[in-house]
């Protein structure tokens, strides 16, 4: 008897998210094939280490029933069954060597759909269990594909397990789809320090479990997840930091997602309306138009919130960076913070103010005399006179400096008097 897909540990679920990475090596002629029989194939099909992990996890009787491997689009998936009539589908993540995978990732992030999205839906429909005993698995890009299948077919899905997934585009989702992403049907694990999960706005942020990271490993890979003796993840205590960093980057990316997703959404609804009208289904067309009106208003509000959040986060980030620069590179700041006793000679401040006032009076006198010259100089000398006159405009700035020095001296004296009166 193979293991029941409905009762696995985190480590076992994550092992199945990796299974689709071997879809390119298993020959179609060998399908169906049990996991234990993969040992009879060439070592290039699946590494001995991964094979042994699958066997040790008790997946030897798990039967692979279908494979799709499209080198042109980068799509890869494996369907399999356990002995309890459960169907599992594992979707492959990004192949780092394939440019088409990256193009698909960008399309998914901005538009909310891609060629691989279509292929994953077709693969699911061709291999799903009609009774709804379907379990989806995916890592990285494969996690986004599994998520996309879930939100569009959630009545037919028993469970979805994803590891470090690329976020699904939130602007193409309806309220019920967002709800299912925060339900028990959707299990999301993000490893500490992972850089993929926040490449977009996450509508399932409340459902994420953050895992502790194995030191010295790449955070995005499954081998970096820290599992306890029970096979489940060790919860990270650095999750708030992950969320803070991720939310800032997600908000920036969300500004690109928003307008493109609106275009895709409106285009899809437009096609539905035309189809209803051509088939003389006017009432259905009116319902879509009414629904569309509400969605556009909702979108505008979301876009405003996203922008406001971005501005707020930018201000916080600017303040933090500025303070860090001052603390790190500004010698005066470092001296001031380490020597909190302030010594101010207010007499000198007032003396500087008096000296500036004297300079200002002379500038004003010069300015008045120069104004009279405008009636005397010729046209060719006018430009030179204007340049000279600009110099006298410093009078306004000097007044500000004088006022600043006087007020500063008064403020320091007032604070000093308050402190002394309380001692």
Residue 190 has a pLDDT of 92
Identify which has the larger pLDDT, 48 or 9: 9
Residue 187 has a pLDDT of 96
Pick the closest to residue 264 from 299, 315, 216, 220 (CA basis).
Answer: 299
Q: pLDDT above 70 covers what percent of the chain?
A: 64
Identify which has the larger pLDDT, 50 or 12: 12
State the pLDDT confidence band at 243, using cuts at 50, 70 and 90: low
What does the pLDDT average to over 201-213?
A: 85
Identify which has the larger pLDDT, 95 or 120: 120
Residue 165 has a pLDDT of 92
SS3 content of the chain, % helix, strand, coil (to 5): 60, 10, 30
Mean pLDDT of the chain: 77
DSSP state at residue 168: P
Virtual torsion, Cα 333, 334, 338, 343, nearest 10 deg? -40
Q: Of 2-6, 324-328, 369-373, which range is least confident?
A: 369-373
**Separation between Cα atoms, residue 335 and residue 337, nearest integer Å:** 6
71 pLDDT exceeds 50? Answer: yes
**Separation between Cα atoms, residue 356 and residue 305, nearest integer Å:** 49
State the pLDDT confidence band at 380, using cuts at 50, 70 and 90: very low
**Separation between Cα atoms, residue 242 and residue 188, nearest integer Å:** 14
What does the pLDDT average to over 384-397?
A: 54
Beta pairing, strands 33-34 & 63-70: antiparallel
Residue 170 has a pLDDT of 81
If residue 100 lies in a helix (H) or strand (E), which one and from where to where?
helix 99-111
State the pLDDT confidence band at 382, using cuts at 50, 70 and 90: very low
Pick the closest to residue 195 from 245, 257, 258, 156 (CA basis).
Answer: 245
Pick the closest to residue 198 from 219, 222, 172 (CA basis).
Answer: 219
What does the pLDDT average to over 137-141?
A: 94
Q: Of 87-101, 170-184, 314-328, which range is least confident?
A: 314-328
Identify which has the larger pLDDT, 256 or 389: 256
Q: The tokens of 176 are what?
A: 């019920």
State the pLDDT confidence band at 330, using cuts at 50, 70 and 90: low
What does the pLDDT average to over 236-253?
A: 64
């Amino acid at each position: 008897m193979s293991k029941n897909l409905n009762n696995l540990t985190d480590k076992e679920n994550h092992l199945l998210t990796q299974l689709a990475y071997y879809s390119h090596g298993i020959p179609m002629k060998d399908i169906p094939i049990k996991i234990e029989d993969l040992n009879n194939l060439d070592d290039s099909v699946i590494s001995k280490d991964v094979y042994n992990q699958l066997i040790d996890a008790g997946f030897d009787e798990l039967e692979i029933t279908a494979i799709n491997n499209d080198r042109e689009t980068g799509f890869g998936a494996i369907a399999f069954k356990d002995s309890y009539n459960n169907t599992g589908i594992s979707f492959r993540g990004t192949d780092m060597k394939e440019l088409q995978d990256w193009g698909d990732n960008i399309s998914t992030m901005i538009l909310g759909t891609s060629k691989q999205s279509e292929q994953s839906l077709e693969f699911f429909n061709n291999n799903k269990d009609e009774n709804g005993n379907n379990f989806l698995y995916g890592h990285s890009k494969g996690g986004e594909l599994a998520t996309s299948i879930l939100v569009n077919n959630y009545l037919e899905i028993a469970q979805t397990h994803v590891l470090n997934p690329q976020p699904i585009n939130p602007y193409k989702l309806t309220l019920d789809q967002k709800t299912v992403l925060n339900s028990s049907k959707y299990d999301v694990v993000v490893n500490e320090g992972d850089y993929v999960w926040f490449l977009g706005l996450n509508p399932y942020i409340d459902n994420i479990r953050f895992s502790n990271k194995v030191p010295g490993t790449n955070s995005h890979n499954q081998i970096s997840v820290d599992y306890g003796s029970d096979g489940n993840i060790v919860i990270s205590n650095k999750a708030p930091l992950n969320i803070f960093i991720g939310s800032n980057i997600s908000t920036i990316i969300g500004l690109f997602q928003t307008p493109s997703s609106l275009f895709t959404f409106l285009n899809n609804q437009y096609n539905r309306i035309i189809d209803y009208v051509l088939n003389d289904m006017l009432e259905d067309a009116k319902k879509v138009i009414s629904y569309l009106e509400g969605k556009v208003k909702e979108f505008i509000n979301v876009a405003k919130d996203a922008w406001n959040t971005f501005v707020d986060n930018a201000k916080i980030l600017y303040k933090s960076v500025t303070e860090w620069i001052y603390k790190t590179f500004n010698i005066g700041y470092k001296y001031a913070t380490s020597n909190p006793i302030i010594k101010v000679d207010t007499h000198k401040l007032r003396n500087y103010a008096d000296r500036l006032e004297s300079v200002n009076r002379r500038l004003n006198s010069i300015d008045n005399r120069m104004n009279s010259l405008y009636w005397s100089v010729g046209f060719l000398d006018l430009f030179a006179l204007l340049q000279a006159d600009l110099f006298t405009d410093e009078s306004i700035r000097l007044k500000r400096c004088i006022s600043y020095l006087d007020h500063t001296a008064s403020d320091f004296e007032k604070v000093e008097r308050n402190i002394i009166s309380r001692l």
